[in-house]
Amino acid sequence: MSPTIPSTMDRPHFIGIGGAGMSGIAKILAQRGAKVAGSDAKDSETAEALRALGVAVRIGHDARHLAADATCVVVSSAIRAENPELAAAAERGIPVVHRSDALAALMDGTRPIAVAGTHGKTTTTSMLAVSLTALGLDPSYAIGGDLDAPGSNAHHGGGEIFVAEADESDRSFHKYAPEVAIILNVELDHHANYASMDEIYDSFETFVGRIRPGGTLVISADQPGAVELTSRVRDIGGLNIVTVGESEGADLRITKINQRGLTSEVTVLLDGRMLTFTVSVPGRHYAHNAVAALAAGIALGTPARNLASALAKYTGVRRRLQLKGEAAGVQVIDSYAHHPTEMTADLEAIKGAVGGSSRPEVGGGSRVLVVFQPHLFSRTRELGVEMGQALALADASVVLDIYPAREDPIPGITSALIIDAATAAGADVTTEHDKDAIPDVIAGMAKPGDLVLTMGAGDVTDLGPLILSRLESQN
């Protein structure tokens, strides 16, 4: 596929260019030859990676950062109307482009795979990107997280396939027209934009209706919301539906998942034959993600056995049960989980890894300790009780204050909602309002053989290296 740049995006300016979704699009445009610029609230490794591609990244938001020759301004739903660069664009008549429209433009002329669902999008997109790359297909991809290898969230490839996450949070996935779509699960989340499951179903139905004629929908045969959605879209003409999962009626059926420490061995029934392959991350939910990726690759014509072997090349995504290191016999793992379903899945996976570990110091006396940072006031208001119940799976938890991200505080909504629910569920849970105190708190709790899980979608991820350093210093 020859490099192309939409005519209005040859000199784009990104507001919030350091974000996972925004930086990926900026990278692809830069790799295609666009003169890309942008700003972000703080400097980061992502900003440095963009600068290495020739992108002009400025720190802080200021109208003066918007170049005179900018052809458009790219924003995400997180950018507020009062942003000075956005206001300057309006004053100067510079077109404002939503991130999803920019991504949709980049997918023109390709064979897109769009990965949707309430959970698991980043992992599944990454699995496809890694396996298709390993097969020499050189796909383009845009992922909401950095791969362990090659260490990037985006790439402009020379092949015809484009793999991208399809975000339902703000309905922006309605902008895409994929040849193959994956829907991993359908649950109520993003409460600022969806008031009910009916609204969620309507939104996902619209997404399915965007699949190209003759295209394929890969969807879970096990998750209740996905099963309901399948029943609603069965009659869409020209749509091939492939169900995947452990249910008897699944078109691509998982017959066995064996967890072996921090990996899993997965067996599927495909065209009457058993196919077994390795997934290099633990947990049943990651095995399901891998099988969905397998089904999508098959739908694009990739040989199943080749793709299954290539999936073993996937080594993980940063912040998705990412091992940050070990000190004083304690492993520290980082998890992006922030919805109760994700929290439960990751905790079950880690508990299974402890039980099946080959590490001699990990045994029946080993514990899983969690540092959890709730993400968004609205999510905590709606799902705080379920978050607390999920923490009951840990041996002990410390809960931080709510990370607000793009939201203003909601009166009466604090981490206490989670603490109370966790306590009622029998969890050993405490609260800590001072994030800087966490390394000392964990150093006082952890024993050799324990696993510490930093969990949440905010800046709790920064604590992993600090915890390791504190553990090392007391050893």
Give dist(CA 131, CA 296) in Å, integer. Answer: 12
Mean pLDDT of 406-420: 93
**Cα–Cα distance between 142 and 152 in angstroms, integer?**
9
- What's the pLDDT score for residue 322? 82
Q: How far is CA 114 from CA 119, 257, 290, 311, in A?
A: 14, 26, 15, 18
- What are the residues facing 259 on neighbouring strands? 264
Is residue 362 pLDDT above 50, yes or no? no
The model's pLDDT over 169-194, given as tens digits with 9 standing for 90+, comes to 889 899 999 999 999 999 877 767 78
Q: What is the mean pLDDT of residues 261-288?
A: 88
3-state secondary structure of 293: helix
* Three-class DSSP category at 454: strand
The model's pLDDT over 106-163, given as tens digits with 9 standing for 90+, comes to: 999 999 999 999 888 988 999 999 999 999 999 999 987 666 544 588 999 999 999 9
What pLDDT score was predicted for residue 139? 96
* Whole-model pTM over 0.85: no
Report the SS3 class of residue 439: helix
Whole-angstrom Cα distance, residue 55 to residue 240? 41
Q: What is the pLDDT of residue 146?
A: 62
pLDDT of residue 356 exceeding 50, the answer is: no
248 alpha carbon, distance to own chain's centre: 29
Q: What is the pLDDT of residue 2?
A: 46
List pLDDT tens digits, range 369-397: 999 999 999 999 989 999 999 999 999 99
Q: What is the pLDDT of residue 475?
A: 67
Q: How many CA atoms lie within 13 A of 96 on its CB side?
A: 17
For the segment 304-344, what is each residue's pLDDT rounded down to a tens digit?
A: 999 999 998 887 666 667 888 999 999 999 988 888 988 99
Domains delineated in the chain:
7-98 (3.40.50.720), 110-311 (3.40.1190.10), 320-474 (3.90.190.20)
Measuring CA to CA, which residue among 72, 64, 62, 86 is closest to residue 35? 72
pLDDT of residue 361: 40
- The pLDDT value recorded for residue 320 is 67
| Collapsed DSSP state (helix, strand, coil) of residue 331 | strand
pLDDT of res. 152? 81
pLDDT of residue 465: 93
pLDDT at 359 over 50: no
Q: How far apart are CA 226 and CA 475, in angstroms?
A: 48
Residue where the block lists tokens 């400025």: 58
Q: How far apart are CA 406 and CA 397, in angstroms?
A: 26
Q: Which residues are annotated as a binding site for ATP?
A: 117-123
Question: Measuring CA to CA, how many Å separate 17 from each of 5, 44, 69, 176, 258?
Answer: 18, 11, 18, 21, 40
d(CA 417, CA 212): 44
Residues labelled catalytic: 121-122, 165
Distance, in Å, from the CA atom of 468 to the CA atom of 452, rounded to the nearest integer, reads: 10
Order of strands across the sheet that contains 180-183: 154-155, 140-142, 161-165, 111-116, 180-183, 216-220, 240-245, 252-260, 263-270, 273-279
Residue 353's pLDDT band (boundaries 50, 70, 90)?
A: low
Residue 421 has pLDDT above 60, yes or no: yes
Q: What's the pLDDT score for residue 302?
A: 95
> Minimal CA–CA distance to 110: which of 132, 69, 151, 139?
139
User: Which pLDDT score is estimated for 148?
Assistant: 56
- Looking at 97-106, 231-240, 308-317, which range is the least confident one? 308-317
Mean pLDDT of 411-436: 94
286 confidence band (pLDDT: 50, 70, 90): confident
pLDDT single digits (tens) 29-78: 999 999 999 999 989 888 998 999 999 999 999 999 999 999 999 999 88
pLDDT at residue 87 above 50? yes
Residue 426: per-residue pLDDT: 92
For residue 34, the model assigns a pLDDT of: 95
Is pLDDT of 278 > 50? yes
- Burial class, 10, CB count within 10 angstroms (exposed 0-12 / middle 13-18 / buried 19+): middle
Taking alpha carbons only, the member of 184, 358, 366, 187 closest to residue 261 is 358
Q: Across the chain, what does the average pLDDT equal? A: 90
* pLDDT-derived band at 450, boundaries 50, 70, 90: very high
